[in-house]
Amino acid sequence: MILKGCVLYPLCPPRNKQRCSRLWKIAYGGLLKIVTGSLLTFYVVLCLDGGMVLMSKQVPSRFMYPKEWQHLTMFILLTLNGCVDFMSKNVLPQRCVGLEKGTLVLIIYELLLLMVSHAKDSEGVELHVHSLLILVVFLLLLVLTAQLWAPNMCHLQLMETFLMLMMGSWLMQAGFILYRPVSGYPWQDDDISDIMFVTTFFCWHVMIDASFLLGIYGFSSFWYHCYSPSLKLTGPKEAPYYASTPGPLYKLLQEVEQSEKEDQALLLAKCST
């Protein structure tokens, strides 16, 4: 009955097919990047009492709030990446995957430069946290750069997904370590055990993210091969075969082969006589 219901009542009724197809084609990832980057940008601008002042009024003038300006630049880059994804998928007449990948690589390059300079004014636990994040961003940059020349390699896509997941989870962990410790007490920069546990937490993140990704892949593969309704209804399908009408070149080859066979038959007859 369930399978019959799936056949008789599809997910999108015929009159709403066009609307569902439009909703399916919307770049939700790009919209999420735009919304998240915009909210974080407004948060950085509004969190300072005096506002985002670039230079002080003293003589000589000094740059103000360097870390906040770097955070603002990172969030603006995230918003621009979302705008490019949305334009490529929903505005341009044809999706340009090269534009999306190239923009992402350029943004990760800038993010790596910002992270390296961001860690200059750090020490102790904060420096160690940023160093591990820089390691993840650097590896992600290598994978994305390799994808520019090999965009269809599944291994690179899997590594990109894992490193993106790793970067996101470690960013959240860094926020708890540096600003909201779970214990309620700040981490001690002069305590070697705190620095060692930062590395331990990073290794736990690697194992958890890898297990999470493996679990999603295993569940999706198991569901696809065992419980996919489309497979049960239609059964295994062979690869489609497209027959083409014989062209002039194909006919010429057939004529050449036929003449060669006639010549061989004539030569054999002469040899036998």
Q: Are residues 226 and 132 in the same domain?
A: yes
Q: Are residues 86 and 181 in the same domain?
A: no
Query: How would residue 225 be classed by pLDDT, with cut points 50, 70 and 90?
Result: confident
pLDDT for 144 equals: 93
**What is the spatial distance between Cα 270 and Cα 273, in angstroms, rounded to a whole number?**
5
Residue 248 lies in a domain: no
Determine the residue type at 16. Answer: N
Residue 14 lies in a domain: no
Q: Are residues 87 and 134 in the same domain?
A: no
pLDDT for 91 equals: 83
Residue 63 lies in a domain: yes
The predicted model scores a pTM of 0.71
Q: Are residues 144 and 215 in the same domain?
A: yes
Q: Are residues 158 and 206 in the same domain?
A: yes
Q: Are residues 222 and 140 in the same domain?
A: yes
When pLDDT is averaged across residues 57-70 and rounded to a whole number, the result is: 82
Residue 82 lies in a domain: yes
Residue 31 lies in a domain: yes
Sequence-distant (≥ 6) Cβ neighbours of residue 68 within 8 angstroms: 44, 48, 52
Q: Are residues 175 and 135 in the same domain?
A: yes
When pLDDT is averaged across residues 111-127 and rounded to a whole number, the result is: 89
Residue 9 lies in a domain: no
Query: How would residue 198 be classed by pLDDT, with cut points 50, 70 and 90?
Result: very high
pLDDT for 68 equals: 86
Which pLDDT tens digit goes with each residue over 7-42?
Answer: 333 444 455 555 555 666 677 888 889 999 999 888
Q: Are residues 141 and 223 in the same domain?
A: yes
Residue 161 lies in a domain: yes
Residue 188 lies in a domain: yes
Q: What percent of the chain has pLDDT over 90?
A: 33
Q: Are residues 149 and 85 in the same domain?
A: no
133: pLDDT strictly greater than 90:
yes
**What is the spatial distance between Cα 209 and Cα 215, in angstroms, rounded to a whole number?**
10
Pick 56 or 174 by higher pLDDT: 174
Q: Cα 142 to chain center, whole Å?
A: 13
Q: Please count the structural domains in the chain.
A: 2
Q: Are residues 175 and 217 in the same domain?
A: yes
Q: Are residues 130 and 216 in the same domain?
A: yes
Please name every residue paired with 63 in a beta bridge, in sequence order, or none if there are none.
55
- SS3 state at 55: strand
**What is the spatial distance between Cα 226 and Cα 256, in angstroms, rounded to a whole number?**
51
Sequence-distant (≥ 6) Cβ neighbours of residue 268 within 8 angstroms: none
Which pLDDT tens digit goes with each residue over 227-264?
Answer: 765 544 444 444 443 344 445 544 555 665 666 666 66
Pick 252 or 204 by higher pLDDT: 204
pLDDT for 166 equals: 94
Q: Are residues 129 and 215 in the same domain?
A: yes
Determine the residue type at 117. Answer: S
Q: What percent of the chain has pLDDT over 70?
A: 74
Comparing CA positions, the residue from 56, 61, 102 lying closest to residue 80 is: 102
- SS3 state at 63: strand
What is the domain extent for residue 81?
Answer: 24-95
